[in-house]
Amino acid sequence: MRRAEEQYTTLCKEDMSISRYSICADQIRVFATLAVVMLHVSANGLNSSPFGSDSWWLANFFDAASRSSIPLFVMLSGALLLSAPIGDPRQFYQRRFSRVLLPLVVWSIFYSGWTMLKAQVKGQPIMTEQVWLNLVSGTPYFHLWYLFMLAGLYAIAPVLSLALHSAQQRFNPSSSWYLLLAVITSAIYTLGYSTFVDDWPWPFWFIGYIPLMVLGAVLWGKQSSVGVVGLLCCYLVMALIIARLCYIQLAHYPEVAGIYSYQYLSLPVLGASIACWYLLSRPYRISAGWCKFIAPYCFGIYLLHPAFLDLSQMLFRPLALPTAITMLVQFLFVFALSLASCIGYSKLRRRVPMSLKRGRE
């Protein structure tokens, strides 16, 4: 039995170095997707709960614990794109931008229409100029900013790859240097927080995430000397710190725009993200099957889940359920319907070409 476990762990480590669809990559991708859904569900719980109440603290903690979602996505992109040198930039751009630009255009159009439809249903029509302003500013819907930022990271990826591998060949810096770079970037963001929040146009959003992308490439395949329990405790402690700082800011510094500890580039979120990264970089046999099944649909779930979240708000608000129950039911409802829709679309997409092929025959 022990020999089988060792063989399984060895296989996973080899898989991490050669396969884009490794078990550990699937674990990170699925957890980050679940965290994004929980993040948006708990945000509704925060908005609907009295400040400082038990239900508010519950929603605040789950929101804080989910803040590592976007950093994990960025780090995973770095691990999969920058771990090996990018050979032909033209081929890279053709392959990658087709996977980002087309969804960005299609879903921006969809959610622009969705925004107008929601406004009509609520009896609060929105001006067409506002829809265009949201689109130009990179936020046609609250979650699509990530695609605009990701396009910038993809655009600079060949340059980052060249710089990263040149540095490794010439200086061979340890991963601690790259971790220090991420901490310094986060510290600069912290010091200039009031300057950076909501002021930069979307073509520059990717700049602050470059160290996270590089860090993901450097840490890929490396294990932490801290055990699973230690990493889990570190992640939970950082989540508690994020939640506590949120309360302190809202209670004592409400004039500061945005919640600092909730920002993806803040120091506590960086700490939680690194702990979570190391935690999920270990292969867990118990979750391998589920992660392998869900992972191909994660991008679709990310794009689709806000629509089901809006529907769940309309369905569950009249029920006046306790916040904890509402959050749980909403989370399961949104994730299950998003996953089912992605599976259904995938099957339909496979059947249509087969039907066309049979028709030609």
207-246, pLDDT tens digit by residue? 889 999 999 999 998 888 889 999 999 999 999 999 999 9
Which residue type sits at 289? Answer: G
Between 355 and 256, whose confidence is greater?
A: 256
pLDDT over 90, % of the chain = 50
Quote the pTM value.
0.88
Q: What is the pLDDT of residue 194?
A: 57
Span 47-69, mean pLDDT? 94
Band (pLDDT 50/70/90 cuts) for residue 15 is very low
Q: Please tell me the distance from the alpha carbon of residue 191 to that of residue 9, in angstroms, as a whole number.
A: 42
Residue 66 has pLDDT above 80, yes or no: yes
Condensed to tens digits (0 to 9), the pLDDT of residues 302-319 reads: 999 999 999 999 888 888
Residue 45 confidence (pLDDT) above 80? yes
Band of pLDDT at residue 177, cut at 50, 70 and 90: confident
Pair 31, 287: CB distance under 8 Å: no
Give the pLDDT of residue 40.
96
pLDDT at 205: 87
For residues 49 and 247, what is the distance between their CA atoms, to the nearest angstrom? 13
pLDDT at 197: 55
d(C-alpha 279, C-alpha 237), whole Å: 14
- pLDDT, mean of residues 316-341: 91
Region 2-22: mean pLDDT is: 45
Q: Average pLDDT in the 53-76 region?
A: 96
Residue 160 has pLDDT above 60, yes or no: yes
Identify the burial level of 139 via C-beta atoms within 10 angstroms of its C-beta, where 0-12 means exposed, 13-18 middle and 19 or more buried. Answer: middle
pLDDT confidence bin for 54, thresholds 50/70/90 = very high
Query: Average of pLDDT values for 344-359?
Result: 69
Query: Chain centroid to CA 94: how far?
Result: 23
Identify the band that residue 360 occupies on the pLDDT scale cut at 50, 70 and 90: very low
Confidence band, pLDDT 50/70/90 cuts, at residue 189: confident
Residue 130 binned pLDDT confidence (cut-offs 50, 70, 90): confident
For residue 127, what pLDDT is reported? 77
Q: What is the mean pLDDT of residues 264-281?
A: 93
Could you give the CA distance from residue 81 to residue 172 in angstroms, rounded to a whole number?
19
**Cβ neighbour number for residue 11 with a 10 Å cutoff:** 13
Task: Give the chain's mean pLDDT.
Answer: 86
pLDDT of residue 98: 80
Of all helices (H) and strands (E), which one includes residue 166?
A: helix 145-170
What integer pLDDT is reported at residue 142 of this predicted model?
92
What b/e string do you get for 186-202 counting C-beta neighbours within 10 Å, with b at 16 or more?
A: beebbeebeebeeeeeb
Tell me: pLDDT of 100 over 80. Answer: yes
Does position 8 have pLDDT exceeding 80, yes or no? no
